[in-house]
Structure 1
């Protein structure tokens, strides 16, 4: 059935973005991709911290580095950038005036940090009671750690993720290991997106906004999922297991003749099929290994047998044979191989978006697929203050002289 395209899902929603680095910008980029108008407030001259987190940098049409860090570009497409010194009374007033016109405000200042500027939730609620106001911090608005700064890396350690990530302590290379991307920031951004959408839906019933309190630590602990329950049901803290799975066997990396592959057996029927492919049918009938719970208990006896069998053929032969048998398996790709993968290409994950310095920049498409109101990458990440004049003119009705004076004062007040 063909569906007619409708306006973007969040068309008509305006978001004031007072965030920087990754968790907050990831959230607001989701909202922008869904069609919201996102106005990113940045410090004059320096802007979002990640603008300088390079190299690498976005390339121009001639392959030369621009001044825009690739890190910044990953989380800020589809936004407008307005440079405002909120520490000045005039700058804070501009943000308050914009907040009156917005449906959502997202900020990641330290707890209480915006109160002195009159930009905290209670102050903004007084002028816009329908506003959904989302605060993202390391540890939340309450508790003994509330005033501490929080960064993804330290939260991965404090929140338990590093205790279950990495090779076993008794094997070479064992010890604590962080994830390869800032998963705590990213999950906090995703949880914050869900919370904002829920609050907007509730506002449709009540007519009132509300304050959302999001913490990196909360999200880190919550996302441990089955590992939380493994501990809560046994009283035993899970330990690092390398590429193995705590609750499924075999579900890990194996070495083939010429490389490595992942085998992810999720049920007993798949294990039977796997044993047939590797020529070890008797294992599927062994009382120790017939059921997954037995395989978990007798992991140390089973895995060496499987590992030895997997060394007998090249990786790609195994992958083809396992696919034909319906056994989940896959290669371990580098990012260049990921972006050459035919499935990744077919899904259109790599997109090019307009950029004022580079002409066009690559971006990875939002994975949300809506059939009638699809998400689009309309613009690349904005230059610092690129839309200051436009927003002041169109949203606040300021004259050209007022805009010029405001921009000049902004720069002078930052000491530059």
Structure 2
């Protein structure tokens, strides 16, 4: 079955995470992604381990399936000629170099669009194309405010446990590329799509950024508490922690009924969400006392049956197992003749009724698909 983006050619200069994540999502949907890597070293994440599978970094594997790897050095005139030939034929170019790098090689947007007027050219930067500043996820989490609202308290700023800013930026890049392709389908006109890590983070902070922009409230770290909803945090039960995520008054009434304290639904301190937030500390004490009388699993069964959102604190293995039990098929295996065993990957999360994501090839070895030399003319694409 063909993917929805079959026939689309993407020249991928992305490295590390944001750019490669965006292009892998598009590759899963059928696009032909040619990953341009420096000979000898390639994408930095090829060396980001442990964990390793043999000599391969699981980090690199996580964002580079369904791609062809061409080991071409942009400083080599013969290689650069072939790169220009590729971008002339491509539908999309994705790059996340420091601003100005692609221009130095004659591959900036203004130059490429003269060769290929219909090109959709996506540039991913840390702080916008006019600012020549390097951008790494940890740095953006710090300067973009995410660490200030993450952690147990305002005195302990903490990074999120995954490069979430890169992931969100990659998603924004993919959306921008698809929107630009839709415009090109209608008009024949290409365009430049720019995304940056800082702007993506400020957008992804949603209610927290909005609270400052709209009301002048600067949020602070609250541990596992929610600034606007209660009860919405981690509670100790008779044996282990349990998350409660109660989003409205009806759910709260169901919660306290199951816990055997239905009178709390009529308590003036707790009858509405804003009052529960105002009296959060006492509410936590009351609920913890009730939850301590049984195990987390027992409460999970009883509360879920009544429509109350709750769940245990899983590790990644538990989370994958849960997805499997729910029939979500979170893991796929890709056969590869160059490897002794199938490559296990996290599945694309998007489900299509007609053009599903496909898993055509494993993450490539460095330069695995580089075209052979053409005597006197460099390499053929």
Q: TM-score, normalised by structure 1?
A: 0.88
Unaligned runs of 5+ in 2: none
- Aligned with 1:114: secondary structure? helix
Of 109, 113, 117, which residue of structure 1 is paired with 2:101? 113
What do you get for the CA RMSD once the two structures are aligned? Answer: 1.6
* Counterpart for residue 246 of structure 2: 265
> Contact 1:92 / 1:118 at 8 angstroms: preserved in 2?
no
> Per the alignment, do residues 301 and 232 of structure 1 end up closer, same or farther by CA in structure 2, a change over 3 Å counting?
farther
* Counterpart for residue 414 of structure 1: none
C-alpha distance in structure 2 between counterparts of 1:228 and 1:303, whole Å: 27
- Aligned with 1:17: secondary structure? strand
C-alpha distance in structure 1 between counterparts of 2:325 and 2:112, whole Å: 43
Matches within 5 A, 1:349-388: 349-355=330-336, 356-388=338-370
Shift of 1:296: 1.1
Confirm whether residue 21 of structure 1 aligns to residue 16 of structure 2: yes
Matches within 5 A, 1:234-313: 234-313=215-294
Matches within 5 A, 1:113-132: 113-132=101-120
Shift of 1:232: 2.6
Shift of 1:189: 0.2
> Per the alignment, do residues 337 and 244 of structure 1 end up closer, same or farther by CA in structure 2, a change over 3 Å counting?
same
C-alpha distance in structure 2 between counterparts of 1:116 and 1:319, whole Å: 58
- Aligned with 1:178: secondary structure? coil
Q: TM-score, normalised by structure 2?
A: 0.96
C-alpha distance in structure 2 between counterparts of 1:215 and 1:358, whole Å: 39
Confirm whether residue 168 of structure 1 aligns to residue 163 of structure 2: no
Q: Which runs of 4+ in 1 moved over 6 A?
A: none
Confirm whether residue 228 of structure 1 aligns to residue 216 of structure 2: no
- Aligned with 1:254: secondary structure? strand
Shift of 1:233: 3.2
Of 136, 157, 165, which residue of structure 2 is paired with 1:151? 136
* Counterpart for residue 188 of structure 2: 207
Unaligned runs of 5+ in 1: 59-64, 393-397, 408-416
> Contact 2:149 / 2:220 at 8 angstroms: preserved in 1?
yes
* Counterpart for residue 179 of structure 2: 198
- Aligned with 1:346: secondary structure? coil
> Contact 1:272 / 1:284 at 8 angstroms: preserved in 2?
yes
> Contact 1:18 / 1:107 at 8 angstroms: preserved in 2?
yes
- Aligned with 1:359: secondary structure? coil
C-alpha distance in structure 1 between counterparts of 2:30 and 2:215, whole Å: 45
Mean CA deviation greater in 292-301 or 371-380: 292-301
C-alpha distance in structure 2 between counterparts of 1:72 and 1:387, whole Å: 17
- Aligned with 2:170: secondary structure? helix
Of 86, 89, 97, which residue of structure 2 is paired with 1:101? 89
> Contact 2:82 / 2:379 at 8 angstroms: preserved in 1?
no
Shift of 1:214: 0.9
> Per the alignment, do residues 186 and 68 of structure 1 end up closer, same or farther by CA in structure 2, a change over 3 Å counting?
same
C-alpha distance in structure 1 between counterparts of 2:114 and 2:362, whole Å: 34
> Contact 1:21 / 1:49 at 8 angstroms: preserved in 2?
yes
- Aligned with 2:317: secondary structure? helix
Shift of 1:343: 4.2
- Aligned with 1:133: secondary structure? strand
C-alpha distance in structure 1 between counterparts of 2:62 and 2:324, whole Å: 22
